Structure 1
């Protein structure tokens, strides 16, 4: 009997379709990560050379160029802002206030908000962008 040796073909995995799937997954996560922005209010922050990390319990206050006040993305009047900060100041765990103010705002308007924060004895950090 004459048995011929048959050549076995090696199994091949086509990687072209896998790379397409990985590309679409990466694109999906990049789009989703840009939508999950911590601050959805558009502001031009001032620039600073030194930066500092802040504690976990934070309270975001934003003031845009039209002098609209926001507390955690909720629009408030100036009087409403003061009332809300008084409630947070009476809480047992006082948060650190992160003040995000548009750089085109006059200093007088900034000082009004800082004064309210200081009257309620809350810690405050002013948000800036890192300069080049």
Structure 2
């Protein structure tokens, strides 16, 4: 009696090497993502729903936006040119030893204008707090 052997080919995938590759890729992306340091500006944001107010009188920086014109900048309601804004803030910090600046941004200010102002504060190690209006 002749015994037939089953000689069918069975396709198989070697999964052990794939799991090793996936583990190394996972470690690579984990290390790369923790080392990536985007350019950020630290900023203290107040809550618009609360009525928290400062107890000290910090310097106030306001911006007024007009359609088709340059922005107007005010330090404690006194107009100041953007070019001399950093110098005036440095003088104020030197006189009062207070490095906190309350910034009032209008809702229609361009993001680049806001970043330019925050870069001035970052270069002089100032603490910027954005003032908001209370929600009705």
* 1:111 CA drift (Å): 1.1
For the pair 1:93 / 2:97, whether they are aligned, the reply is yes
Tell me the residue number matched to 2:127: 123
- Deviation digits for residues 52-95 of structure 1, max 9, x if unmatched? 32241310111011310111111111111111012123346214
Q: How does 1:52-71 map to 2 (within 5 A)?
A: 52-66=52-66, 67-71=71-75
RMSD (Å), alpha carbons: 2.0
CA 1:68–1:94 in structure 2 vs 1: closer, same or farther (change >3 Å)?
same
Q: 1:106 Cα shift?
A: 0.7
Query: Aligned with 1:80: secondary structure?
Result: helix
* CA distance in structure 1 between the aligned counterparts of 2:101 and 2:79, rounded to whole angstroms: 16
TM-score (norm 2): 0.56
Moved over 3 A (4+): none
Query: Which among 59, 73, 76 is matched to residue 80 of structure 2?
Result: 76
The number of equivalent residue pairs is: 86
2:49 maps to what in 1? 49
Q: C-alpha separation between the residues in 2 aligned to 1:108 and 1:52?
A: 28
Which blocks of at least 5 consecutive residues in structure 1 are unaligned?
Answer: 1-46
User: Quick check: 88-97 or 70-79, which moved more?
Assistant: 88-97
Q: Report the structure number with the largest CA radius of gyration.
A: 2
1:105 aligns with 2:115: no
Equivalences for residues 1-20 of structure 1 within 5 A: none
Give yes or no for contact 2:100–2:126 (8 Å, CA) kept in 1.
yes
